């Protein structure tokens, strides 16, 4: 009926007519009972709607509902006052069954008790609930208005950045405006509640005084009889009005203290108060201690302690089951409909410096819960390489990839694939180092790290394979070795600005003055990064940062040219470079170039650059073949292949020999320590 009236636009006019009727004409007691009952029901509905709202704006009509309910209650007070004063001399039933019930049943027919109960309700409503809710409404309104400019600017910033579109921006602006209007309205509505509490006190006093006068003067009742009848009716009338008032005051306090959440208030309170069993456990212990104190009501405290302790145990058990994966069988939440979610920066995932993708059959190797061996191997590889290189190697981001074959893996650097292979988790790899003494049954394959011939064999064949000279490793070691080789080959790309800044910070702790002169005095941070990357590209560790910093500081006073600075650093690190190549050998076997060839190469460098010299194709081919042949002779002799040239040619020749994909070191004369003897084992001329 109410909905039908509302649809044709008569809901509000009919409500106003009812309020005017209650205030102006005498209402039958039956209709008065219905109105009082409806008022109580409305207050309960409003309170529950406030409790179940997930955020205050979900009940944005609350200030208006509060005003209408307050006016209805005041109109009922006027109507009930008229009935009490006109019919009160006849007894409690004359004012209606609701007022009689509140006057007789709730207070036991004792007007002194009723007066005390009424005063207590008024104190709770006016002093505690209404005053607190009013203060919160006032502060919330002030803070909301102060925050409006910042929220509007945030919306404009998101709109300009493309995070939201015009429709979403308009919606968010409307929400901000509605929030400000809501808290402003709540600040005013709280004054209605406070005024309603004061009006309840005055109306009760008027009913008592007016009833005494009317009962004694007009109906010839004795003073005590009139006091008892009219006081009980006045108290019943006051209580039947104060109870809905207290419910609405509580609803107002709930709605202004509500914090936006994905749960309603009951679920939020249960989750936040009882999700951790420790609070109930400590409470149970305190109650038990109080229960065993002599003179205390033992049964009550011990029973409550048992209930609290049992609840704590159940919550702890539920939490442990949830942590153990009991919720894994729950259905996954449905994805949002396509096109309803805006694209934001969170959808742009950064590129991993080092990535390892595995097929689903290799997941046990990287699963912590299954004690994956590969995780330990990768940690060991990172630690070893960090100590060798002289900087902290970035962590390896491991993820599963269903697009890979089930037993395959892929190694990537900055999003680019550098290596991939397939392994057998349940088998061992027997690698042929070139000196095996027999054949072995297995599945032929290639070692992914070095490309050597290998076999996948059963675990029972492991000892036999080792006795034949094979190198036998498990699947985790195969992947870790491959990853180790990739990281060694691309060490220079693993070093970034953050790592260089950390190295400078560590240098500042032991040599603060040197660190201050290094960056930005001698070189910039980017310049230092380029020099360190160049060293790593030629397998030169950067552990001795102090020597590197001293060389750069000294050389920068002469020239800021990066090539000059790099060569100065290499000369300072010459002892370490030579030791890494030759070990502790006192005599160094080297390959040199004759004077004519060096002159031609220097001329080619001058016409081009170190990276792109203008070199005759035939000469380049003869030089490459000669270097490879000399390197092969050194490898057969068990000696390293080292080409010794002038510092002007070193960088160019180092890039040249790198194209041959052979391990050939290129050193400058300045990099050879004074205490080492040089033996020229080969000299390469123009004709090769």
Residue 386's H or E segment, with its range, is helix 373-389
CB proximity list for 526: less than 8 A, separation 6 or greater: 497
- Given a contact cutoff of 8 angstroms between Cβ atoms, the answer to whether 58 and 258 are in contact is no
* pLDDT tens, residue by residue, 484-533: 999 998 998 999 888 999 999 999 999 989 988 888 888 988 999 999 99
* pLDDT tens, residue by residue, 99-136: 777 766 656 666 677 777 777 777 777 777 767 766 76
Cα 207 from chain centroid (whole Å): 62
Q: What pLDDT score does 375 carry? A: 86
Whether the predicted pLDDT of 184 surpasses 90: no
Please name the residue ranges forming H helices in 608-683: 617-636, 647-658
Q: What pLDDT score does 170 carry? A: 80
Q: Give the integer Cα–Cα distance in Å for 134 and 221.
A: 44
Residue 330's pLDDT band, with cuts at 50, 70 and 90, is very low
Q: What pLDDT score does 111 carry? A: 65
* pLDDT tens, residue by residue, 336-353: 555 555 676 766 777 888
Residue 95's pLDDT band, with cuts at 50, 70 and 90, is low
* pLDDT tens, residue by residue, 528-564: 999 999 999 888 999 889 999 999 999 988 888 888 8
Whole-structure pTM value:
0.51
Residue 10's pLDDT band, with cuts at 50, 70 and 90, is low
More confident residue, 112 or 416: 416
Q: Which two tokens stand for residue 216?
A: 């004694």
Q: What pLDDT score does 202 carry? A: 78
Q: What pLDDT score does 329 carry? A: 45
Q: Which two tokens stand for residue 279?
A: 């609070």
Cα 276 from chain centroid (whole Å): 21
Helices and strands counted in the chain (H then E)? 26, 12
Whether the predicted pLDDT of 257 surpasses 80: no
Q: What pLDDT score does 325 carry? A: 46
Q: What pLDDT score does 327 carry? A: 44
What is the 3-state composition of the chain as percent helix, strand, coil, each rounded to the nearest 5?
Answer: 65, 10, 25
Q: What pLDDT score does 5 carry? A: 46
* pLDDT tens, residue by residue, 583-640: 888 888 888 888 888 888 888 888 776 666 767 778 888 888 888 888 888 888 888 8
- CA-based diameter of the chain, in Å? 144
């Amino acid at each position: 009926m109410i909905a039908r009236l509302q649809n044709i636009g008569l809901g509000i006019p009919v409500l106003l007519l009812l309020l005017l009727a209650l205030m102006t004409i005498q209402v039958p007691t039956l209709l008065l009972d219905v109105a009082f009952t409806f008022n109580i029901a409305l207050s309960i509905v409003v309170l529950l709607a406030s409790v179940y709202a997930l955020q205050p704006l979900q009940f944005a009509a609350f200030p208006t509902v509060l005003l209408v309910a307050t006016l209805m209650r005041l109109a009922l007070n006027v109507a009930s006052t008229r009935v009490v004063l006109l019919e009160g001399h006849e007894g409690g039933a004359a004012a209606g069954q609701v007022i009689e019930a509140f006057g007789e049943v709730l207070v036991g027919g004792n007007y002194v008790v009723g007066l005390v109960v009424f005063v207590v309700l008024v104190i709770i409503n006016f002093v505690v609930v209404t005053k607190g809710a009013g203060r919160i409404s006032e502060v919330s309104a002030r803070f909301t208005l102060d925050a409006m400019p910042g929220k509007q600017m945030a919306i404009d910033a998101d709109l300009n950045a493309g995070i939201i579109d015009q429709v979403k921006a308009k919606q968010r602006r409307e929400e901000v405006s509605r929030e400000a209007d809501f808290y402003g309205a709540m600040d005013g509505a709280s004054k209605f509640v406070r005024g309603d509490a004061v009006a309840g006190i005055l109306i009760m006093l008027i009913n008592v005084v007016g009833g005494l006068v009317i009962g004694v003067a007009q109906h010839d009742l004795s003073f005590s009889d009139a006091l008892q009848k009219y006081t009980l009716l006045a108290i019943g009338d006051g209580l039947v009005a104060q109870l809905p008032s207290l419910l609405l005051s509580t609803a107002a306090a709930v709605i202004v203290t509500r914090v936006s959440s994905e749960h309603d208030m009951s679920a939020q309170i249960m989750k936040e108060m009882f999700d951790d069993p420790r609070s109930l456990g400590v409470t149970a212990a305190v109650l038990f201690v109080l229960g065993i104190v002599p003179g205390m009501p033992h049964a009550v405290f011990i029973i409550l302690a048992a209930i609290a302790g049992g609840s704590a145990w159940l919550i702890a058990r539920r939490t442990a089951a949830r942590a153990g994966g009991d919720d894994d069988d729950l259905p996954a939440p449905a994805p949002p409909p396509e096109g309803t979610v805006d694209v934001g920066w969170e959808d742009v995932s950064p590129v991993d410096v080092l990535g390892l993708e595995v097929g689903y059959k290799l997941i046990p190797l990287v699963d912590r819960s299954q004690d994956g061996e590969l995780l330990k191997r990768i940690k060991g590889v990172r630690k070893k390489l960090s100590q060798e290189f002289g900087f902290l190697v970035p962590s390896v981001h491991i993820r599963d990839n269903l697009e890979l074959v089930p037993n395959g893996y892929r190694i990537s650097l900055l999003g680019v694939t550098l290596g991939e292979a397939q392994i057998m988790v349940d088998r061992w790899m027997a690698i042929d180092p070139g000196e095996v003494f027999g054949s072995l049954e297995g599945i032929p394959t290639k070692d992914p790290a070095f490309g050597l011939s290998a076999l996948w064999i059963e675990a029972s064949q492991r000892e036999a394979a080792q006795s034949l000279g094979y190198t036998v490793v498990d699947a985790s070691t195969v992947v870790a070795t491959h990853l180790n080789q990739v990281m060694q080959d691309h060490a220079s790309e693993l070093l970034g600005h953050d790592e260089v800044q950390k190295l400078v910070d560590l240098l500042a702790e032991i040599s603060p003055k040197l660190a201050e002169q290094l960056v930005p005095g001698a070189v910039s941070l980017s310049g230092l990064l380029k020099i360190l990357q160049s060293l790593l590209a030629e397998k030169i560790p950067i552990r001795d940062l102090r020597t590197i910093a001293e060389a750069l500081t000294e050389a920068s006073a002469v020239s800021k040219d990066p090539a000059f600075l790099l060569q100065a650093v290499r000369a300072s690190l010459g002892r370490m470079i030579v030791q890494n190549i030759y070990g502790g050998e006192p005599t160094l076997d080297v390959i040199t170039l004759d004077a004519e060839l060096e002159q031609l190469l220097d001329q080619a460098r001058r016409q081009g650059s170190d990276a792109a010299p203008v070199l005759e194709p035939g000469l380049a081919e003869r030089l490459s073949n000669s270097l490879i042949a000399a390197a092969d002779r050194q490898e057969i002799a068990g000696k390293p292949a080292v080409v010794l040239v002038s510092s002007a040619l070193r960088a160019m020749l180092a890039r040249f020999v790198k194209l041959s994909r052979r391990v050939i070191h290129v050193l400058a004369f300045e990099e050879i320590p004074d205490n080492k003897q040089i033996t020229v084992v080969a000299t390469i001329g123009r004709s090769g």
